A and B are shown apart, each in its own frame.
Chain A
């Protein structure tokens, strides 16, 4: 899954509240060793305009076309929607979880948008509930 330069070719940004992104990416690294396929974004203290600027910068630096965020109403999601509005062929997935990101980094699908679309379905399906009955 590497490009000619040796850098991973399927990259995504992960952004969310507090240390959400760093926590998830560290978990992905611990489980798969492929945490380098995700770029954690921390936005504490930033206004909406600065979050957008940071996302644009990280997209440009990494070449990513996919952003995973934590909460549909979150400021990262709002900023990501604005930023990706100008990026054809990009994808935003709100409501990311660990199974979703694991599927993304381990996906055999080379295209990041297709891989993220599949991972989103896997992540949604990975939520299970056990017990709760008296």
Chain B
């Protein structure tokens, strides 16, 4: 097995990740790349308590994550790579060769436009997703496995709540 999902989700570890994806994919570890969480033992404990005992969570700051991904890719168990924002995943695409990106949840914030029920983007974030695709990664939006994977161009063209 390897990293079976490379996900952008501003809620980080939550029900869709642990249960929605984690159970059907038999995920045994999550690689959480987030500078704030990596710097806080309390935050790390919070996320560890949110996963079942058989699931491990490993934390990395953005700066050192790329150097660890090859090792995670050779793990016998299935894992999820998780970032809380597009910029962090963009860096991993460039520095560590991530080749498929799941936009799982980017929620409402001032300046963002709603594209899907669970995806809101600023113009800069739209451009960043296009840049990820230009690096050769396949970008789709899909909150849970049972949902349809929405291709990037369809995602960017979509408008909900207008």
Q: How far is the CA of A45 from the CA of B118 in the complex (A)?
A: 6
A27 proximal to B (CB < 8 A): no
Binary flags per residue of B3-25, CB closer than 8 Å to A gives 1, else 0:
00000001111110111000000
Tell whether A73 pairs with B10 under 8 Å between CB atoms, given A46-B108, A47-B109, A82-B46: no
Query: Is A97's CB within 8 Å of the partner chain B?
Result: no
The answer on a CB contact under 8 Å between A78 and B108 is no
Give the contacts of B63-98 with A (CB-CB under 8 A). none
Residues of chain B at the chain A interface (Cβ within 8 Å): 10-15, 17-19, 46-47, 49-52, 106-109, 114, 117-118, 120
Contacts of A75 in B (CB 8 A): 11, 14-15
A47 to B15, Cβ gap below 8 A? no
Please give the distance in Å from A51's CB to the nearest CB on chain B: 8
Q: Is the CB of B108 within 8 A of A73?
A: no
Q: Which of B12, B18, B117 contacts A48 (CB 8 A)?
A: B12
A→B interface (CB under 8 Å): 17, 44-48, 50, 70-75, 77-78, 81-82
B13: nearest chain-A partner, CB-CB? A73
Measured CA separation A74–B13 after assembly (Å): 8
Chain A residues in 8 Å Cβ range of B51 = 73
Most A Cβ at <10 Å: residue of B49, B51, B114, B117: B49
Among A45, A50, A74, point to the contact of B14 (Cβ < 8 A): A74
- A sample of 18 more A-B contacts (CB under 8 A), given A48-B12, A73-B13, is A44-B117, A45-B114, A45-B118, A46-B107, A47-B10, A47-B11, A47-B109, A50-B107, A50-B109, A73-B15, A73-B18, A74-B14, A74-B15, A75-B11, A75-B14, A78-B11, A81-B46, A81-B49
Closest partner residue, chain A, to B160 (CB atom): A45
